[in-house]
């Protein structure tokens, strides 16, 4: 599989279709998965399918997924790029709070290095900008970790264009990870900015279409026409939307993982792509009529 071609995240060469690990935990992204061995099998299958960008975070579990990655894949293939994140704390299932003071971010980086079993984190991302801490202090800590060689490249998550510009004045930014999918496109301007600047855009929740992907919804007819699934067409659209988009669909199912990878082999005509791009209008009409 081509997995959508490749993209250069600074010095890191990645396949455009990656894997997000949030679902490899217990309910509410809390605790260990019910099937730990199954989670390890999914991670190993990623490598077999050619995926070389695995995205995680210290807050997944917390700590659980970084440990799973080490259990399943260490010693790592030379081509594997592991991206992790810091900047959120957890107090229970589905509970997340920003924490961006530099001492905490440094502590979490050191913990990720230990859990992953590496001397350097390939891509270290600020999970959220903490509004209670000066943003430049948070960006400055990212620069310090990069200068010290603890992280190779730096990324941001859930940021505006203005915030990306502010960060780039302090440290090179190679990736931005915002909520984005075919139905939820509030970050369109960030995607366009990233494309202009050559920054990778990693959409989290790339399949989160809600009613948009429900039976009888706007995507179903197009998926049926192409003989594919709705999740596959959602990923295909993202890969076509911009060459800097790097989807990271997550799953705990081997079958879903393989189905997601097959999305990179699907082609859309210009007309089909535009119909999907305009399909939010159809979604609104469908939702109102339903």
Q: Which token pair is 166?
A: 């502010």
Of 60, 104, 180, 273, which residue is the catalytic one? 60
Phi, psi of 46 (to 5 degrees): -55, -50
Is residue 191 helix, strand or coil? helix
**Residue 94 — left, alpha, or beta (φ > 0 → left; ψ -120 to 50 → alpha)?**
left
d(CA 95, CA 283) in angstroms, rounded, equals 30
Cα 195 to Cα 20, 118, 124, 205, distances in angstroms? 22, 31, 20, 20
Q: Which of 14, 49, 2, 75 is nearest to 202 (CA)?
A: 14
273 is catalytic: no
d(CA 282, CA 290) in angstroms, rounded, equals 12
What positions carry a catalytic annotation? Answer: 60
């Amino acid at each position: 599989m081509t997995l959508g071609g490749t993209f250069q995240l600074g010095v890191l060469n990645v396949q455009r279709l990656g894997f997000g690990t949030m679902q490899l935990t217990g309910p509410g992204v809390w605790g260990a998965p019910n099937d730990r061995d199954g989670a390890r099998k999914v991670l190993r299958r990623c490598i077999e399918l050619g995926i070389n960008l695995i995205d995680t975070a210290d807050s997944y579990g917390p700590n659980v997924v970084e440990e799973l990655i080490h259990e399943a894949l260490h010693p790592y293939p030379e081509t594997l790029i592991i991206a992790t994140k810091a900047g959120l704390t957890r107090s229970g299932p589905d509970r997340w709070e920003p924490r961006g003071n530099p001492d905490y971010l440094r502590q979490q980086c050191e913990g990720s290095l230990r859990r992953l079993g590496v001397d350097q984190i390939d891509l270290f991302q600020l999970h959220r900008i903490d509004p209670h801490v000066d943003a430049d202090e948070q960006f400055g800590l990212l620069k310090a970790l990069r200068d010290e060689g603890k992280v190779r490249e730096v990324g941001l998550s859930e940021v505006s264009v203005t915030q990306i510009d502010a960060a780039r004045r302090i440290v090179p930014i190679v990736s931005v990870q915002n909520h984005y999918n075919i139905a939820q496109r509030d970050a369109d301007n960030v995607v366009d900015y990233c494309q202009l600047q050559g920054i990778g855009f990693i959409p989290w929740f790339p399949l989160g279409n809600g009613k948009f992907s429900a039976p009888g919804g706007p995507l179903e007819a197009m998926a049926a026409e192409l003989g594919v699934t709705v999740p596959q067409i959602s990923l295909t659209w993202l890969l076509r939307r911009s060459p800097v988009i790097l989807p990271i669909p997550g799953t705990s199912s081997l079958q879903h993982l393989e189905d997601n990878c097959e999305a990179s082999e699907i082609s859309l005509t210009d007309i089909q792509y535009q119909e999907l791009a305009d399909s939010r209008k159809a979604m609104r009409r469908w939702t109102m009529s339903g």
